[in-house]
Amino acid sequence: MGIKAGNLKSRGCDVGLFDEEFERVERVIRRLAWHLKEEFDMAFSRSLSLITVGGYPFVRSSVTTIFA
């Protein structure tokens, strides 16, 4: 996924030195997205609790109740 320099070259664009820059920016964005996802998952999991309503299990969060 992402912008591939080969794709740009096949379209007649001369990217030259930008090949490495595209790859480096893509790696940085992927790392940032991974860290943000990890932090969100950790914060969200702390807000979860298992409850039973009428004998049926539900997962309750501060946002919504999800049927388990």
- Give the model's pLDDT for residue 17: 61
pLDDT at 45: 64
Confidence of residue 8 (pLDDT cuts 50, 70, 90): low
CB-based contacts of 44: which residues, under 8 Å, 6+ apart? 61
Q: What is the pTM of this model?
A: 0.40
Q: Residue 15 — φ and ψ, nearest 5°?
A: -100, -25
For residues 48, 63, 39 and 4, what is the CA-based torsion angle, rounded to 10 degrees? Answer: 130
Per-residue pLDDT tens over the stretch 15-64 = 566 677 778 888 888 888 887 777 776 666 666 677 777 877 776 666 55
Domain boundaries, given as residue ranges, for the chain: 5-67
